[in-house]
Structures are given as structure tokens and as C-alpha cells.
Amino acid sequence: MRKRNFSDMDDGAPGEDDARYASATYNSATAMTSSYSTADPQPSTSMNPIPVRAPTPSTFSDFYTTESEGRTGSNTVTVPGATSHPSLDDISYTYAVTDEIRETLYREVFGRRLNTLQPVYQQPTDDDEIQRMERFHRMMYMVQGDRNCVGPVDQILNAPSDRKRRILDIGTGSGLWAIQMADDYPDVEVVGCDLVPIQPEMVPPNCDFEVWDAQINPYSDEYFDVVHVRCVHTGIRNYPLFLEEIARVLAPGGLVILIESEVRALTEGKQPIEAGPRGGAPGWHAFWEQYRRCLAGNNIDTTVPTRLPALLRGTGAFSDIIAQEATIPIGFWPKDAGLLTVGQYAWMDHDSFIPSIRPLFLSYGLSEFRVNILIEDAQQDLYYPLTRPYSCVHVSQARKITSWTPPRRRTRRLR
């Protein structure tokens, strides 16, 4: 099947309520947020959107070039040291990822390279996936108003302190977010962690990358001031326990930012796409339903993105919980310049994401014929949409309360 080039995409005939919906969802002049107190038993389910605005030419140029400009430091990826039968508390050092170690961190699964450290997470870790991560990062940069993150980050990182401020980026992927934060805050120590060492070697001197499972955080209590998490829930079976680990390593008053995408086939107004021809995107719907079944079969809770505020409250560790969501077009029809660019990034992201799920589908037990049909039909609905697809990204932020203490000690301590 021939893929349509961007120039082939028809952005005409937007539909009678397209402009109204885009304005209601992405009007940066009326940006609002919803705050939830930890005392609220049932928070409102209506969340205000994250604004999107078109970047200025200089900003967008800088956005494209930060990967290669201003790199003055050299990064050595490290992993926690280990014995043949390590206990939970015997890790007190790290070592560099050599070529020999690097080879042990990957496995080949149905033609794609996956990690070996955490088999639950079955997204590829190859060059195609790195490019997809960077497109998603650029999209989120715009969705958040030409910023790398939401919340009072400046206030926290610039507050007087008797020690260096620290940021932890969990699921750092290509490391682009961590690198840009290190550039923006040169006096702050930035640590990015992932399951594989796919980050660049030349990075700012205040940026380090490490390889470890985010569910067993190796850092000591109250070590970080900001913890940033993006798109990791599909590899975590116990998200509440994961949040407890974040709370443990976060300093009192520190900020956690969670970003997770819904795993559903959606259209305008965040409405689910119906199954079959009636929904206008039968292949798109079938693909996402099968993806959800595979994740559920792997004991992954696919409702996590929509329940982030409740999960944060459930730990008893956080206050000032703010939940936002962005309903993002996956295509080229928006008339607004900023929204169109977001839609282009989202389209490219999903164009890469669809075939990346092949190893998961095949490992689940689907036949190669069935997997090919699922992927090709989803691509057909992406390249020639009869129904406009959307995705919904949920962003929640919260501050750690001072009085919280970890319920138990269960992790390796690195520092």
C-alpha cells in the first residue's frame, strides 16, 4: 500500500464544527486547569484541556536544533552493580555500560530489538522507535505551550537550597527531554533512566543517563526535586506501587509530572470509534482493541491514563493534584497552524507506532496472517481516513506532602 505524502493530504472540507471544536480544545487564551485536593473523595471527571499555540519561527528553529547544539559534556551510561544473587539492599555502586554489557540488554523478537531488563515492556528499542519517541516529544512540547513540562518547575528548581537541585526523568527513551532540561537548568543535576542505553553520548555536563527498571528505583529517599514520567504505563503492572516509589525518592514539596496516553480508538469530541464499517474506521478500531487485549493479557491496567489523579491520591503522598488532558488530532485537517503541526507529529508518531506492535501481537499468539491484517487495515484508516482519528493524552502533576513516609523498604539504594 502506498503511503500518502504530506503533500497528498487534503486539509480541505474541515467539517462544520471542526473550527469550533479546535478552538474549544486548544484556545491558549483561555487555558485553565482543574485542581483536586487529596481530601476530595470523588474528583470531577471533566478536565480542562492543555493549550496548544503555534510556535514562533525562532522557537521552532531552536526546537529542531537542540539535539545537536550546545553539547559540552560526554555521557557514560551506567547501570547498578550486581552480584549473581543480589539482595534488595546490596547495590551501592554503578558501572559503565561497556559494549559487552550493552549486547546483553537487547533481544531480537520477530525482527525488532527489545529490552531484556523488563520483558513486560514490549515496545522496540531500535532506531525507528527512537525517532518515534522524538516526534512524540516534539508534539508534547507544543501541546504544553512550547514548554518541556507543566507545573511550578521554575519555582522548585530556583528555590534556595543547601544542595544541588535534581530532576529524574523516568522512561527517558532517547533522552531528548532530559537533555533539554539540562540545557534549560545548567545548575540542576538531571538523571534520565531507561531500560536500554539508547541515549546520545554528547550531552550537557549536568545530564546523566542510567539503565535500571523504574519499578525498583535505586535512589535513596527524598533525593529528587522533580520527577517526570512519560508513557510508561504499558510496561508497569503495579502502577500504584510505582507511584509509591516515586513518592519515596521525591523530596517534600517536590513535583511529580505524569504523562500517559489512552489506549483507545477515538474521534472528535473524544468519542470512541464504533466497531465495523459503521464507525468509519474498522481497521483502526480493531487494531486498538487487540492492543488493549494484549496488554490486559499481560496484566497491564489500560485504564491508568484516565485514573492518574485517583492513583496519586491513593498513595496518600501527594497534594495539589492538577489533571489536564489534550485531545490531539491524528492528521492534516486542522486549519490552525499550531494544531496542524501537532496533528502532523501525531500522524507520524502513529505511523511508526502501528508496525512497532507486531512483536507484541505475535508474542501474544496471533498468527502472522492475522497480525498483517491488523496492521495493514489500521494503516489504511490512517492513510485514507473516513473518520478523523484522535488521541487523548492525560497529564497530571502533584506535590509531595511533608508528612508522608514510605510504607515499607523494598528497593535497591544507589545513593
Q: Is the pTM of this model over 0.75?
A: yes
Cβ atoms of 45 and 334 within 8 Å: the answer is: no
Q: What is the 3-state secondary structure (H, E, C) of the chain?
A: CCCCCHHHCCCCCCCCCHHHHHHHHHCHHHCCCEEECCCCCCCCCCCCECCCCCCCHHHHHHHHHCCCCCCCEECCCEEECCCCCCCCCCCCCEEECCHHHHHHCEEEECCEEEECCCCCCCCCCCHHHHHHHHHHHHHHHHHCCCCCCCCCHHHHHCCCCCCCCEEEEECCCCCHHHHHHHHHCCCCEEEEEECCCCCCCEECCCEEEEECCCCCCCCCCCCEEEEEEECCHHHCCCHHHHHHHHHHHEEEEEEEEEEEECCCCEEHHHEECCCCHHHCCHHHHHHHHHHHHHHHHCCCCCCHHHHHHHHHHHCCCEEEEEEEEEEEECCCCCCCHHHHHHHHHHHHHHHHHHHHCHHHHHHHCCCHHHHHHHHHHHHHHHHCCCCCCEEEEEEEEEEECCCCCCCCCCCCCCC
CA contacts within 13 A on the Cβ side of 310: 10
Residue 327, strand partner residues: 392
pLDDT for the residue 165:
98
Q: Which residues of the chain have pLDDT under 50?
A: 1-74, 80-94, 411-415
The pLDDT assigned to 409 comes to 52
Torsion angle defined by CA atoms of residues 44, 171, 143 and 150, in that order, rounded to the nearest 10 degrees: 60
One-letter identity of residue 333: W
Predicted pLDDT at 365: 96
* pLDDT value of position 104: 86
Q: What are the pLDDT digits (tens) for 271-325?
A: 999 998 888 999 999 999 999 999 999 999 999 999 999 999 999 999 999 999 9
Please give the Cα distance from 183 to 2 (Å, whole number): 40
Q: Which domains are present in the chain? A: 17-27+46-400 (3.40.50.150)
Average pLDDT over all residues of the chain: 80
